[in-house]
């Protein structure tokens, strides 16, 4: 989501990106407030640009995203070298804000939610890129007790079907072959009687679109209509990111996740029934207030039962204004206990991911080639249908093509292989 917003920001002001902040006319720190660590990172990044502003007062320094939305005006008071604060829904207003600052040298805060042009600015698209995100939804209507998203991104707003298809088609015409639809709870998307399954089917009709992914799905919004579409539309990749957060029903209920462990497991079975080779990844929060040893054991038993392809796991972080932050005061899980649980879970996941990657050795995978591998220019990189990164020796002309690669090595974070000719 943040990467997508950063690309929209680049496009909104028609910016030429630079890696050297000293050469920049405008520096914008796009932020995330999901966990305290991310929010502190935003402040330390801004601190780094103080000397640039001191040496060149004409450089415009701004903050955007969730931290900007959360603290608004307070940021201008706290950070004297900051010129503007741009809320999560205000990207279309950016050109106006910049010209106002250039003209009047007036510091500005724009965090209003009632902007009609919410989806107006499409993201910057780097020529030659073969994958792209398309936003289908902003904000969130769920009220998970730990989550700051509804506060900093507002209620759910679904983008009209035709706009989504138009942006997707434009990207495909520019050479994109894989689209990832994004939304906080992407599969709750609905518009004018259409549901998420209908969106997938409609996207499946776009000529030359080879792959469709979407994230993040909310377990309770997985419907038969969606599963049927995933089964029927051949472009849909066989991987789903489905955050479960905990394996304990007590914790799930305190998190206000609206499903039980049994319901989640049954949903996975339904998905596997329809798409037998589907791989599932997840998010887990460890040390949610009141999490007992037994609750944690239930999370571990779920990890063992499902054997997720991969998982992102986080220590609970109390966020201002959330319900969980209030009861965290009485029921905090001691930091050392939470750390030990997190390490245990991550060690388990590492073994599972590694063995799943190893089990691919000898298989032939279809890979959409995205570009040169980061570490070696002779190697090219892409993802398999199941979302595994696969590196192999190749040539530049393969970028954008779907090729067959035989897996020769399974590593922790990727696969290696040889092109099948």
Residues that bind ligand SAM (CB under 6 A): 34-35, 140, 146-147, 149, 184-185, 216, 218, 243, 245, 283, 285, 314, 316-317, 319
CB-side neighbour CA atoms (13 Å) of 236: 28
CB atoms within 10 A of CB 155: 10
Shortest reach from residue 364's CB to ligand SAM, in Å: 33
DSSP assigned state of 121: S
Give least dist CB 167 to ligand SAM, A.
21
Q: What are phi and psi of 281, to 5 degrees?
A: -120, 165
Closest approach of Cβ 147 to ligand SAM, in Å?
5
Beta carbon nearer to ligand SAM, 45 or 216? 216
CB of 314 or CB of 327, closer to ligand SAM: 314
76 or 340: CB nearest ligand SAM: 340
Going by the DSSP 8-state scheme, the letter that residue 122 receives in this structure is: P
The CB-of-81 to ligand SAM minimum distance in angstroms stands at 28
Q: Give the whole-angstrom CA distance, residue 19 versus residue 24.
A: 9
Nearer to ligand SAM, 169 or 223 (CB): 223
Whose tokens are 């073994």? That residue is 351
In angstroms, the CA 171 to CA 186 distance is: 20
Distance between CA atoms of residues 175 and 163, nearest Å = 19
Closest chain position to ligand SAM (CB) = 283
C-beta closer to ligand SAM: residue 283 or 409: 283
Tokens of 373: 């591998």
Question: Cβ(100)–Cβ(62) under 8 Å?
Answer: no
To ligand SAM, the closest distance from the beta carbon of 128 in angstroms equals: 28
Looking at the Cβ atoms of 176 and 324, the one nearer to ligand SAM is: 324
Taking the least distance from each CB to ligand SAM, the nearer of 133 and 316 is 316
For 295-356, the DSSP string reads HHHHHHHHHHHH--SEEEEEE----TT-HHHHHHHHHPPPHHHHHHHHHHHHHHHHHHHHHH
Smallest distance from the beta carbon of 64 to ligand SAM, in angstroms?
Answer: 16
Give the shortest CB-315-to-ligand SAM separation in angstroms: 7
């Amino acid at each position: 989501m943040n990467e997508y917003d950063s690309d929209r920001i680049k496009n909104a002001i028609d910016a030429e990106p630079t890696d050297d902040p000293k050469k920049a006319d405008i520096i914008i720190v796009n932020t995330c407030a999901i966990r305290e660590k991310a929010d502190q990172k935003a402040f330390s990044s801004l601190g780094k640009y103080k000397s640039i502003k001191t040496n060149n007062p004409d450089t415009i320094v701004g903050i955007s995203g969730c931290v900007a939305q959360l603290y608004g005006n307070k940021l201008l008071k706290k950070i004297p070298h900051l010129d503007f604060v741009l809320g999560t829904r205000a990207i279309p207003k950016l050109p106006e804000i910049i010209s106002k600052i250039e003209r009047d040298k007036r510091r500005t805060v724009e965090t209003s939610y009632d902007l009609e042009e919410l989806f107006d600015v499409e993201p910057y698209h780097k020529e030659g890129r073969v994958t792209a995100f398309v936003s289908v939804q902003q904000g969130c209507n769920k009220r998970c007790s730990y989550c700051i998203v509804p506060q900093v991104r507002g209620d759910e707003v679904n983008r009209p079907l035709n706009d989504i298809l138009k942006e997707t088609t434009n990207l495909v015409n520019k050479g994109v072959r894989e689209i990832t639809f994004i939304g906080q709870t992407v599969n709750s998307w609905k518009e004018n009687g259409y549901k998420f399954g209908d969106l997938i089917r409609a996207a499946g009709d776009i000529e030359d679109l080879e792959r469709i992914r979407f994230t993040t799905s909310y377990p309770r919004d997985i419907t038969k209509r969606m599963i049927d579409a995933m089964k029927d539309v051949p472009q849909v990749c066989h991987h789903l990111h489905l955050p479960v957060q905990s394996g304990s029903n007590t914790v799930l209920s305190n998190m206000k996740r609206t499903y039980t462990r049994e319901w989640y497991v049954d949903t996975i079975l339904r998905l596997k029934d329809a798409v037998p080779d589907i791989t599932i990844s997840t998010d887990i929060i460890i040390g949610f207030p009141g999490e007992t040893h037994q609750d944690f054991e239930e999370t571990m038993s779920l990890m063992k039962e499902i054997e997720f392809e991969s998982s992102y796991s986080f220590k609970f972080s109390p966020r201002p204004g959330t319900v969980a932050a209030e009861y965290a005061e009485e029921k905090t899980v001691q930091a050392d206990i939470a750390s030990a649980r997190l390490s245990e879970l991550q060690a388990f996941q590492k073994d599972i991911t590694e063995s799943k990657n190893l089990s691919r050795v000898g298989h032939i995978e279809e890979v959409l080639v995205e570009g040169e591998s980061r570490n070696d220019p002779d190697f090219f990189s892409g993802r398999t249908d199941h979302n595994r990164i696969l590196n192999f020796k190749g040539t530049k002309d393969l970028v954008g093509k779907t090729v067959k690669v035989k897996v020769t090595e399974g590593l922790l974070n990727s696969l290696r292989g040889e092109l099948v000719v």
